[in-house]
A and B are shown apart, each in its own frame.
Chain A
Amino acid sequence: MNKIDIACIIDDDPIFIFGAKRMMELANFCESFMIFKNGKEALNNLKSLIKTGENIPDVILLDINMPVMDGWEFLDEFIKIESQKPITIFIVSSSIDPTDQDKVKKYQNVSNFIVKPISIETLKSISAKVLNP
């Protein structure tokens, strides 16, 4: 596998989603993506996908500050779900608050904390991590 199959973006910011999608296309990051506007929406949909075992994303780019259910709340729920397929999670946030960066260390499933803006280079390093863990 030299390309990520499905990438999932969980973010409430339409500009970021627009940009991130385009960046992913340019970086030849993945075959398809899946987008959710907050943690709740993502959790509900991912739960049922994991249950059926179809279209499970390989990687999740998760924002922290979101309405309804934020990134931390999503993580707390998501780690309880058992998935057949490994899912790599990256926190992608504009926060440069060190407490956020410390907090992420508590979650084993989270591979990295990426500070926005993302660039083609960032995406390339993400895909390298996902494809060759």
Chain B
Amino acid sequence: MQVTPTNDNTLFLLNFIQQQASIGTWEYHVEEEALQWSDETKRIHELSLDYEPEIASGISFYKEGYSRETIKKLFADCLEHNKNFDEELEIVTAKGSEKWVRAIGMAVMEDGKCIKVQGLFQDIDEKTKNIKALAFKEEQLSKTFENAVVGMAILDLNGQWIEFNKSLCHIFGYKKEELQRISYLDITHPEDLKYDYQAMAKMMKGTKHNYEAEKRFIGKNGNAIWALLSMSIIRDDDGKPQHFVAQINDLTHMKIHRDEVNQLLETTENQNKRLLNFAHIVSHNLRSHYSNLDMLLDLVKIDYPDNTKNDIFPHIEEAVSHLGETVENLNEVASINIKNAIMLEPINLLGNLNKVIKGMSALILDSKTIVVKDIEQHLRVMAIPAYLDSILLNFLTNAIKYKKPGKPAHIHFHTEITEDHIILHISDQGLGIDLEKHGKKLFGMYKTFHNHKDSRGLGLFITKNQVEALGGKIEVTSQLGTGTTFSIYLKKHE
């Protein structure tokens, strides 16, 4: 049967249909060995409409390999054995693009002999590619689902499994077959079940879109397993609930760690409380004993002056006085460490230094100490006045205490300004410290480096604590016999 147009209209309609449906026609007349393609068939091949196909060239459009071999075999079978075919194959068009096509062929017989093969040629490229892309996506998704580290499940509206992944089995300790025999609700901790039910009901009603909870499940061995559940509902195009998607994150390890951290925190808090108590004991109890001793010594001196005129009494007096100092120092250290919120205020650095120097003017005059202040008038640091006083006083007295024998102390203050800090450099030309030997313990409690009669070894420790409490730090450079420079970083006032 040949497609013979009866009139122009029919031909037009036929062409129109072919074009809209991307379906072309073709026929092969055996005797004449003539191949005819409809316009649409040529268009699918991206050929001009005056192209005249031959059987060999027609076949050569099929992609080399599977597609070309298949069409050859199908066409031969159709010719020789009267076998119709319908196959999806790939072609390479005249412009070189690869396309999926559906090729249909049908033998027309006359007197038991094939006189003609005719068929349809359909462009199914877009459809095929979409299907293949979809299949790829589906595979990707199912691989993601299957191999996800979190437990994942798809549940029907009654809480029965539709699907679940390996991780889910792993979390609860079940084999796949074992888990399939029970439902999601069976592995939920009975006490948490009602929350799940409520949430699932709300999601089905549409008042809730998803549900997240830290809840307990029951593992195969009967133990409670803490997990983070995130569940959401999937609806069809009409908004009808289809199924639930659940993600389950095992929190057991996190929970254990969290408990450990909480335990540690509690221990630390307790220790801190005990330290505060200790500070209080130091502040009050020890101090009250010291003050009693001191008072009693005063009374002995007045009431029994004869009892003080011996070798022992002055030592007792000295010991008591040292006890008092120690208690005071310990108390100072404790009070720095227990201050929580420290209120810093802007303080003029030069003004404050002048005030401290004035307060110790007797010592400075006595020792003929030279103080050089290269500090700009306007500089202000953020500090607690008492701390800043104590810090400056400490460095000043240290510089005087550890001056070179026979030479007055020479103390040079100068500043350096960085983005956040004002660095106060205090250089003396004193004895110097062997930093290689003592550097690490320089700021430790009760470390002294000079066999000096006044060395108490607490000054730098307290100073460092105070500077740190002000949000700064101290650096030191020193050379034995040359002197020491302390650099104090103090917060800049904006």
Contacts and interface: CB of A to CB of B under 8 A. Distances in A.
Nearest to A26: B302
Contacts of B165: none
A119 B283 contact: no
Contact of A97 (B283, B288, B291, B292): B283
B360 interface: no
Chain A contact-residue range equals 20 to 34
Interface string A90-127: 00001111100000000000000001111110000000
B298 to A, nearest CB: 6
Contacts of A96: 283, 287, 328, 331
Contact of B292 (A13, A95, A115): A13
Interface string A37-78: 000000000000000000000000000010000000000000
Contact of B291 (A22, A26, A65, A116): A116
B426 to A, nearest CB: 27
Nearest to B320: A117
Interface in B46-76: none
Nearest to B298: A119
B294 interface: yes
A92 B292 CA distance: 13
A16 B287 contact: no
Contacts of A95: 283-284, 287
A1 interface: no
B335 interface: yes
Contacts of B302: 26, 120
A15 B296 contact: yes
Interface string A13-45: 101100110110010000000000000000000
A118 B296 CA distance: 10
B182 interface: no
Nearest to B302: A26
Contacts of A119: 295, 298
B292 to A, nearest CB: 4
A34 B235 CA distance: 88
A119 B303 CA distance: 14
A5 to B, nearest CB: 24
Chain B contact-residue range equals 10 to 19
B299 interface: yes
Contacts of B303: 22
Contacts of B283: 95-97
B302 to A, nearest CB: 6
A117 B292 contact: yes
Contact of A16 (B295, B298, B331, B335): B295
A13 B283 CA distance: 16
Interface in A1-16: 13, 15-16
Contacts of B331: 96-97
Interface in B261-305: 280, 283-284, 287-288, 290-292, 294-296, 298-299, 302-303
B280 to A, nearest CB: 8
Contacts of A15: 292, 296
A26 B303 CA distance: 9
A23 B299 contact: yes
A16 B299 CA distance: 12
A127 B14 CA distance: 127
Nearest to B339: A98
A23 B295 contact: yes
A60 B295 CA distance: 19
A65 B292 contact: no
A19 B296 CA distance: 6
Interface of B: 280, 283-284, 287-288, 290-292, 294-296, 298-299, 302-303, 328, 331, 335
27 contacts: A13-B292, A16-B288, A16-B292, A20-B295, A23-B295, A23-B298, A26-B299, A26-B302, A65-B284, A94-B288, A94-B290, A94-B291, A96-B328, A96-B331, A97-B280, A97-B283, A97-B284, A98-B335, A115-B291, A116-B288, A116-B295, A117-B290, A117-B291, A117-B294, A117-B298, A119-B295, A120-B302
Given A15-B292, A97-B284, A120-B302, 5 more contacts: A16-B292, A94-B290, A97-B335, A116-B287, A120-B298
